[in-house]
Structures are given as C-alpha cells and as structure tokens.
Amino acid sequence: MKKYLTLEDGTIFSGTAFGATQITAAGEIVFNTGMTGYQEAITDPSYTNQLLTFTYPLIGTYGIVKDQNQSGSSTCQAVLVRHLETEVDNANLTLNEWLKQQYVPGMCDLDTRALTKHIRKHGTLKAILSNQPVDHDEFLHMYGVLGNSISKQPTLQHESYQVDDAEFHVVVIDYGIKQAIIEELMNVGCSVTVVPYTTNFKDIEVLNPDGILLSNGPDDPNVYVDTLPLIQELEQSYPIAGICLGHQLLALANGAKTYQLPFGHRGLNHPVKLLNTNQTIMTSQNHGFAVDPDSLTDTDLVVTAVEGNDQTIEGLALQQLPAISVQFHPEANPGPLDATNFFHEFKELMHKEVKVHA
C-alpha cells in the first residue's frame, strides 16, 4: 500500500505504508540520527505532534522491548524509515505490530537521505502523511483540520517513586517527563514526586522537596510563559535543575531569550564541551530551540557547556542561586555514561543547601 509525505513547500515523497495504515498524520517533520533507541524516541514526549524520521537505514531490528518506553504510549504522529525490519525475536513485537496497536502510521521504503538533506537545507517544515498526495493549494487547510482533530498532548503525571533510605526528595515539574530521568534520579538515591507544571507553589511546598527538577517536553518554550513565575519562586527556595525544555525555561525565567534552530538537534552523537573541565562528552539530544547567548549579558546566568558542532549553549548555571541546567539528555547513555554526572552535580547542590539550613 502506497503512502505519501507532503511537505508545506510542495515537495512529495512516497513509500510503503506500515503500522496504522489508514490514519493520516500531520505535524513538524524532524529527523533523528541515532542508530538504535527507536522505541525510546517514539515514546519520548519531546517528539509530541512531530513526524519522526530515522536517518539510520535499518530500523526495527530488535522489535519492541518490554519496559523501554519513555512514556505510557507513543507520542509522535508518525514514523518514517528507509528499511523496516519485520523479523525479530519471538519474545518481542515487531515495530509494525506495535505501531498498529498504538494507532501510529508509518512509512518505509522512503528515501530518508534525500528527505533529511531537504530538511537541512530548508529547515523544519510542516508535513502531512497520507494515503494520497496532498494538493499544494489544499495543504494549509488540511493541515489545520488535522492539527485540530488529532493533536496529542503529553500526559502530565502526579506520581510518587520511593527509594529505600533515600538521601533526598526531588519534585519533578512535568512538561513531558521521560521515564529514564525518573529512574536516574532514583539510581542516585532520590525519591521522586512528579507533578504537572500547572501545580502551584504552595502545593509543591507541602511536598517538602529538597530539590526541584524541570523536565524535558515538547514545543517552543515560549508556549509555557505562564509557568515562569512558578520557576522564579521555586529557585528562590530550593536547588533547581533543568533538562532540555527545563533548561530553556530556566533561562527564560531569568531574563534570557530562546530561538528556533534551523532543523534542531536530535540523535545520540552530539559532542558537548564542558567548560569547567575542558572535557568533551558524547550526548543524546532532542530539541528544536536553543538559548540565545546574546541575551545572557544582563542576567545572572553563566554558560557551562557548549555544543561541539555549532557552539550552541548546552549548559547554564545561576551565579547567585543553586541552579543548573543542560540542553542535552543526561539520563541517556550514548557515551555510555559521559553525561550522568549531571545528577551528581544536582545532588551536590542539595547537599550544600542541607548544610546551610542545618
């Protein structure tokens, strides 16, 4: 069965349908350069409402693995691949079978190299995946109808995760949290309570946290401007850490600005230079926006890390308050453990605060 990917500039790519073959999808078209981790990417809330292209030519080789999801279900609108593997271990569902269950359409036999080069040249574009080509004159109308009817939202949580003999209690402000972030906090001895970003300061205060973590999530950070006063209040009372979207929101809350990257950073092979040690680590990234370095001049923010490829800001800290953030995903393991020190740095901030108030 044929499938068609129509871009807002009129370009059309064709391929073969898989997954939920009768569903039409609309959203931003983005690409991920990871060779593995397709299941984690498909269930990462940061990909909400995007059509996810994998640049590695063979996807689905190990099927779907139990307990590897980063959220309760798939979050992207569609999955686009060059070659789809359908023969996997009998213990696992195939990617095709799983996407059918998730009501997510896919397209294989797609020239992902040509598509990726097009995105790199023209920037992130709106796209529609359908069973027929979409006429250019009808694209915007159809995109608007689809966007209003099938748009997904991250499932905001209010859950607790207890650790025996936990050293600290961390409250995670949920903008679209990945399960691996929760697990990494638990691995370093923190009990975790996850609350929606709509939670107010008093309700968070009742939870008696030792620290606050601002999670990853989808969309332009400026969509969440209503949450900036909460962040400003929290950073005056608790050590705070931000990851990905949380990093951008911490920057906005302290007077910085953000901007949209041409085609984003999405993959497992992004080098990041840590400025305090002059060390370069390999990181996993998934974001379409970055902090504007020129906007830091009159703020209390200092840059702690930069991207090795384009020198975008990858880490920030406040000079007068216990707050740190990173643009990359420290819970992921492409290095394999290069970036996990971020969680230990967060614990050090909480240690210092405990000593101050002792």
For tokens 């995760």, the residue is: 161
Residue-level pLDDT at 75: 85
The rounded distance, in Å, linking the Cα atoms of 319 and 307 is 21
Residues 6+ apart with CB under 8 A from 24: 105, 128, 129, 130, 131, 146, 150
Is 46 known as a binding-site position? Answer: yes
The pairs formed by 293-301 with CB atoms below 8 angstroms and a separation of 24 or more are: 295/255, 295/256, 295/257, 296/256, 298/255, 299/254, 299/255, 299/256, 300/254, 300/255, 301/251, 301/254, 301/255, 301/256
Q: Rounded to the nearest 5°, which phi and psi values hold at 28?
A: -70, 140
Contact 230, 265 (CB under 8 A): no
| Percentage of residues in the chain having pLDDT higher than 90 | 77
Residues 6+ apart with CB under 8 A from 148: none
Q: What spatial distance separates the first Cα and last Cα of the chain, rounded to whole Å?
A: 67
Per-domain boundaries in the chain: 2-150, 159-357
Residues 6+ apart with CB under 8 A from 277: none
pLDDT tens-digit profile, the chain (358 residues): 999 999 999 999 999 999 999 999 999 999 999 888 899 999 998 899 899 999 999 999 999 988 888 887 788 999 999 999 988 877 689 999 999 999 999 999 999 999 999 999 999 999 999 999 999 889 988 988 886 555 556 666 688 999 889 999 999 999 999 999 999 999 999 999 999 999 999 999 999 999 999 999 998 999 999 999 999 999 999 999 999 999 999 999 999 999 999 999 998 889 999 999 999 999 999 999 999 999 999 999 999 999 999 999 999 999 999 999 999 999 887 766 677 889 999 999 999 865 544 3
Contact 174, 157 (CB under 8 A): yes
Can you give 159-170 as a three-state secondary structure string? EEECCCCCCEEE
CATH of 159-357, one of 1.20.1070.10, 3.20.20.60, 3.40.720.10, 3.40.50.880: 3.40.50.880
- Taken in order 80, 83, 87, 92, the sign of the CA dihedral is negative
Angle between the N-to-C axes of helices 228-235 and 245-253, in degrees from 0 to 180, rounded to the nearest 10: 80
The rounded distance, in Å, linking the Cα atoms of 105 and 24 is 7
Predicted structure pTM score? 0.89
Give the tens place of pLDDT for each residue, 80-127: 999 999 888 776 899 999 999 999 999 999 999 999 999 999 999 999
Contact 77, 25 (CB under 8 A): yes
How does the average pLDDT of the chain come out, rounded?
A: 91
Is 217 known as a binding-site position? Answer: yes
Architecture of domain 2-150: 3-Layer(bba) Sandwich (3.50)
Q: Please list the active-site residues.
A: 244, 329, 331
The rounded distance, in Å, linking the Cα atoms of 207 and 252 is 25
The rounded distance, in Å, linking the Cα atoms of 95 and 339 is 29
Is 288 known as a binding-site position? Answer: yes
The rounded distance, in Å, linking the Cα atoms of 6 and 247 is 33
C-alpha distance from residue 289 to each of 38, 64, 165 (Å): 22, 30, 38
Contact 250, 323 (CB under 8 A): yes
In terms of Cα–Cα distance, which of 177, 204, 187 is closest to 45? 177
Amino acid found at 64:
I
Contact 285, 270 (CB under 8 A): yes
The number of residues making up the chain comes to 358
Residue-level pLDDT at 73: 79
